[in-house]
Amino acid sequence: MSKPRASIYQRYIPAVTPPPEFSGSAYWLIFHSGKLLVTETEEGTGIPLVPSLEQLSMAPVRTLYLGTWEDLPCFTAEVPAESLEPEGMAFRPLRSLYEPLDEDLFHLAGKGIQMLAWDETHQFCGKCGTATELSQAEHSRSCPACGLVSYPRIAPAVITAILKDNRILLAHSPHFVNNMYGLIAGFVEPGETLEDCVQRETMEEVGIKVKNIRYFASQQWPFPHSLMVGFLADYESGDISVDGEELDHADWFSLDQLPVIPPPISIARKLIDWVVENHS
């Protein structure tokens, strides 16, 4: 089974502290209000490559080092919402950069925004309320009073392509734009395996049972802090039934007559494309 993308670590090397001897330009993933500052040129969309935020006339609320991107240091920073856009740059909602931005860079930006959110919400100890300290050895914040260590958290979720007689189950949610249809997905609950979650979410959302559950691939998803784990499964029994709230319609679609489906960068689309390629 083919994988949907190469590892981001071919271009990105994670680290906690920047090299002390470095003095040149660095890549900056700069956010405010969930928006990323990008460069916009005829060549496409990118991220700023500058020595410091001062060069952009910006004062950061918080800054974290992420490692190196294509052999140059990479930082992520949060700036005030009133920060002005430098010439040739603009703050864009991260979701809107789903396709314009390089795929690896989009996922690195996803890491950046999640790290900033974690840092913001763990300034104080959740156990005793003492101000925490940022570690210089790992991505964590520790409490000097009680010793509690807080690490960045992710929420695992499953997403499943369900097959029946060379047809695929696709579902529509009221909040989907452009009448798009997607796959069955949901967050893993305590006490569940990933396969348990596939079965439960499928039954809860569309009222059917599945079998032959097999792993496909995974994708980080920063909305807000998920890890999407993709599966394939076969229909076992039951009739489609939706609740009218989370989903308002679901059906079996022929592989040569699909509705509007998610964009290519998403693991949902990669699953659907794989099914079409291998089952048509």
Give binding residues for substrate as ranges.
95, 138, 151, 219-226, 268
Omega cis (within 30) before 224: yes
φ, ψ for residue 52, nearest 5 deg: -160, 165
* β-strand pairing of 155-164 with 226-237: parallel
Return the number of other C-beta atoms located less than 10 Å from residue 38's C-beta.
Answer: 25
Distance in angstroms (rounded) separating the CA atoms of residues 101 and 79: 21
- Binding positions for a divalent metal cation: 185, 201, 205, 246
Residue 64 CA to residue 113 CA, distance in Å, equals: 10
What tokens appear for 276 in the block?
A: 């079409």
**217 contact partners, CB below 8 Å, separation of at least 6:** 3, 4, 5, 230, 267, 270
Nearest to 226 by CA among 117, 134, 126: 117
Q: Are 35 and 93 in contact (CB under 8 A)?
A: yes
Residue 266 corresponds to which tokens in the numbers above? 């998403």
Annotated binding site: 95, 125, 128, 138, 143, 146, 151, 185, 201, 205, 219-226, 246, 268
Annotated binding site for Zn(2+): 125, 128, 143, 146
Helix (H) or strand (E) holding 269: helix 267-279
Pairing of strands 62-69, 12-14: antiparallel
